[in-house]
Amino acid sequence: MSWNCLRPLVFALAFILIAEVVLETRAHSRGFKTILFGDIVQQDPVKSERAATEDGSDVQAVWGPTKDFAYRSQVLSADKSANAVRVWIASASHAEDLRVSVGRIFPNLLATLFAQRGQFVEVINASRAGMSIGANKAELVSEFKTWKPDAVILYQLVNDFTRITKGSKDNSEVGAAGISISIGFQNRINALLQETTLYPIVKTNVSARIREKCLLPIELPLAADDDFMCEIEGFVDSTRLLGAEPILCTFAMSHDELNFCEMPVDYRLGMLRQNPSVAPLGWIRTKERWNQKIRKYCEQNKVLLVDVDRSLGGRPEFFRDSVHFNEKGHAKFADQIASFLTEVEIAGTKEK
């Protein structure tokens, strides 16, 4: 076979290899496991950005995760400082948010706001991409004796929505594109291809384009509500048994039914890439329904509630996609939590 015949194939393979290296580098930098780099290695603490201290002064902060502190927040010791209130944030990529500077995500802005207001509150951002409510609960139960939080804030919905619609009990196996990858082929070459970073990205983008043209459900069965609320109740019960104050949040999305027609196409495709089983409008309707159930549950069971959806939901200026905040959104959410915790006297003025 002549070179002229082989040349297009060689160029195509070279392009694919270069694309894979670039995508693996990006995925590794965002904390995902890749073929070339393996699992991300936690580095020793480094000083980066600025943060406020107990007295409100501006200093260089040390941020995790590190080998001794697994969370993307200001590094703390296991022993709480005198008079400090410790707040635990249980979420997923919405709070970890590797695409936003570490000092600008809402859990870390929250700690800074408290310090600037003369309130000594330590915040642990126990959130990682792909975590469900069940994973948040397991992390809290496992680490509670070490970190002893006084209050636990849960901000979750999307990963459990995906888990329920896929009929899965667990969504902890997450690939570089942010979706569950199921290796169903025995052939080693096929299995290796599915482990690449390029494969799930191509697959999910093609699938999303196809699904966009299909008639997909815009409502979930009522049994899905029961599953979700069972997870919520289990989280609250576990938190109370540990001796901490549970605080629930409604979930906010960039658009609601009133302005759904204005949702950008790339937002809708992103939703279909993560969950191709339900139409984007179905996400919004389910979110509204589950938020209402959270409100009712909190009222009936005397659980504290931060109604994020009513302050940020349907306001695209605070989002970078359909479910993740931009820097303005993180700042707005942090301010709302800080004001709420002050109002309910969980975070009071520190003693002098």
pLDDT 10s digits, 195-218: 665 555 555 555 544 445 455 677
Shared domain check, 299 and 251: yes
Phi and psi dihedrals of 166, rounded to 5? Answer: -90, -5
In a domain, 52, yes or no: yes
Place of tokens 């936690």: 42
Cα 120 from Cα 114, distance rounded (Å): 6
**Predicted confidence band of residue 311 (pLDDT cuts 50, 70, 90):** very high
> Do 33 and 50 have their domain in common?
no
- In a domain? residue 184: no
The DSSP code for 104 is G
pLDDT, one tens digit per residue, over 327-341 is 999 999 999 999 999
pLDDT above 70 as % of the chain: 72
Neighbours of 82 (CB within 10 A): 9
Domain contains 351: no
For 23-78, what is each residue's pLDDT tens digit? 667 655 655 556 666 655 444 444 445 554 444 445 457 899 998 899 999 999 99
- Domain check: are 16 and 119 in the same one? no
Which CATH number is 244's domain given?
Answer: 3.40.50.1110
Same structural domain for residues 102 and 33? no
In a domain, 352, yes or no: no
- Pair 22, 122 in one domain: no
- Distance (Å, rounded) from C-alpha 118 to C-alpha 243? 26
Nearest to 212 by CA among 287, 286, 284, 266: 266
pLDDT tens digits for range 73-118: 999 999 988 889 999 999 999 999 999 999 999 999 999 999 998 8
Is the predicted pLDDT of residue 7 greater than 90, yes or no? no
- 52 and 31 in a single domain? The answer is no
Measure the CA–CA gap between 221 and 286, rounded to whole angstroms.
10
Average pLDDT on 234-263 reads 97
Which residues lie below 8 Å from residue 269, measured CB to CB, with a gap of 6+? 205, 208, 209, 212
Residue 149 shares a structural domain with residue 53: yes
Per 3-state DSSP, the chain is made up of helix, strand and coil in percentages (nearest 5) of 50, 10, 40
Whether residues 26 and 93 share a domain: the answer is no
The secondary structure of residue 54, as a DSSP letter, is: T
Range(s) of the domain holding residue 3 = 1-40
Kindly state whether residues 1 and 105 are assigned to the same domain: no
- What pTM was computed for the model? 0.77
Establish if 186 belongs to a structural domain: no
Hunting for tokens 């959410």 — which residue is that? 333
Number of domains in the chain: 2
Residue 276 in domain? yes
Both 11 and 160 in one domain: the answer is no
Dihedral sign, CA of 199, 205, 210, 212?
positive
Within-domain flag for 173: no
On whether residue 143 sits in a domain, the answer given is yes
- On whether both 35 and 90 belong to a single domain, the answer is no
Query: What is the DSSP code (8-state) at residue 262?
Result: G
